[in-house]
Amino acid sequence: MQQKWQPATQVIHAGHERNEAGALVSPLCQSATFVFDNAEQGGARFAGAEPGYIYTRLGNPTTAELERKLAALEGSEAAAATASGMAAVSAALLANLSHGDHLVASNAVYGCTFSLMSSQLAKFGIQVTLVNFSDSAAIEYAIKPNTKVIFCETPVNPHLDIYDLDMIAAIANKYSLTSVVDNTFMTPLLQQPIKHGIDIVIHSATKYLNGHGDVIAGIVCASNQQMEVIKYEVLKDVGAVISPHDAWLILRGLKTLDVRLERHCDNAQKVAEYLEQHSKVSKVYYPGLKSHNGFKLLGSQMRRAGGVIAFELDATLEESINFINQLSLFSIAVSLGDAESLIQHPASMTHSPYSDEERTQAGISDSLLRISVGLESAEDIIQALNLGLDRLT
Ligand code: LCS
């Protein structure tokens, strides 16, 4: 009987197959195409009558190992690795929406996901309604006869609101919608949406999954039936597949995901508690704090609260921007989930595709700051923040 592994073991061993050379680390298969024994074999592979690789846009051994690992971690039947997190979001949506269809999404999502929905999909006659997903009645009210997909992130980028996955899956079931959840901020080690009945999970693998800030990539996890369209129709034709080299780097990064996440979460909890008691900080958004709307789902939906914190200073916008500019240790950079602590200003950076009015509706204030708490010593991170906050007083 196959032993059932814990996630900390899965990140290292799941999806790995013994290779010809017996190398401990799977060799990188950096090849665009694959040679057939003869023309008949090529034809049989294209016809799906014989297994085997054809061309890396359609599949590659290194990419396949990453896909097996992510499917095992998320508890899905299959996975597809993509060129970016945005390619993963696009593939999941394009596979399930056609001209004339309608999508219901949470009003706060990553800025480019917002512009994909409101600008790109609109060009193809796909409508979107954005609502606050904390309110189940508002979601149901937004559903129309042509609604096909329900989409959200939880925790939300950038203000870390938490939505109830059981509630979203129940609504999707009631109205026969395909539910899609972006699990980037949690990773499958902290939250597994499929276990709550969600149909499709997507990730920006650029973030915690890779963890080292050197790759742009994404993952879609779903059923075999979904994957037939996502991978073998949409990604095949759109072409937004991952490079095998990037897949190999993510496989390397994933081996330490469990230990990295524990440190990210430990550090973020300490930093959030520090910020919350500081007189120059007016509001802290972190699901690990009792004051946060997501705290009640800790331990059930989410194992831990993650490594991202948003906060507002008791200061003008100009002072907040000066605070970022003068902060030591932190890099001013978008992205998250890296070893380095990062800070950014969502209104002018990650969420700049929103208009001022859309941002207000989404609860993203002009003075909101977001940090990705890195793997440095918590003491040093807090000291850097303390020095910066002292300058404000
Ligand atoms: N989904 C979420 C929740 C994200 O935060 C991002 C990127 C994406 C999807 C897209 O992934 P990508 O194509 O960049 O791999 N979020 C970013 C952020 O907050 N700062 O920089 C990028």
Question: Which residue in 45, 207, 260, 304 is the catalytic one?
Answer: 207
Of 239, 254, 269, the one marking the end of a domain is: 254
Cβ(182) to ligand 1 under 6 A? yes
356 domain-assigned? yes
218 domain-assigned? yes
Distance CA 382, CA 387 (A): 9
pTM of the model: 0.97
CA distances from 233 to 63, 91, 230, 240 (A): 17, 9, 6, 12
2 domain-assigned? no
In this prediction, residues 241-268 reach a mean pLDDT of 98
> Distance from first CA to last CA of the chain, Å, rounded?
63
Centre of ligand 1 from the C-alpha of residue 335, in Å: 7
The pLDDT assigned to 1 comes to 66
Please say if 207 is a catalytic residue: yes
Centre of ligand 1 from the C-alpha of residue 110, in Å: 6
Cβ(85) to ligand 1 under 6 A? yes
Task: Work out how many domains the chain is built from and give that number.
Answer: 2
Residues 242 and 286 grouped into a single domain: no
Cβ(206) to ligand 1 under 6 A? yes
Dig out the tokens for 208 from the structure: 């915690």
Residues 220 and 273 grouped into a single domain: no
Distance CA 240, CA 246 (A): 13
- 3-state class (DSSP) for residue 313: strand
| Domain extent for 248 | 7-254
Q: What's the CATH code of the domain at 325?
A: 3.90.1150.10
Residues 194 and 336 grouped into a single domain: no
Please say if 231 is a catalytic residue: no
- Report the percent of the chain where pLDDT is more than 90: 96
Q: Whose CA is nearest to atom 13 of ligand 1?
A: 85
E-assigned strand segments in 175-302? 178-182, 200-204, 218-222, 281-285
1 domain-assigned? no
Please say if 182 is a catalytic residue: yes
Of 221, 238, 254, the one marking the end of a domain is: 254
pLDDT single digits (tens) 283-323: 999 999 999 999 999 999 999 999 999 999 999 999 999 99
E-assigned strand segments in 166-307? 178-182, 200-204, 218-222, 281-285
Residues 385 and 325 grouped into a single domain: yes
Q: What's the CATH code of the domain at 17?
A: 3.40.640.10
What DSSP designation does 118 have?
I
The pLDDT assigned to 2 comes to 73
Of 220, 238, 254, the one marking the end of a domain is: 254
212 domain-assigned? yes
What DSSP designation does 212 have?
S
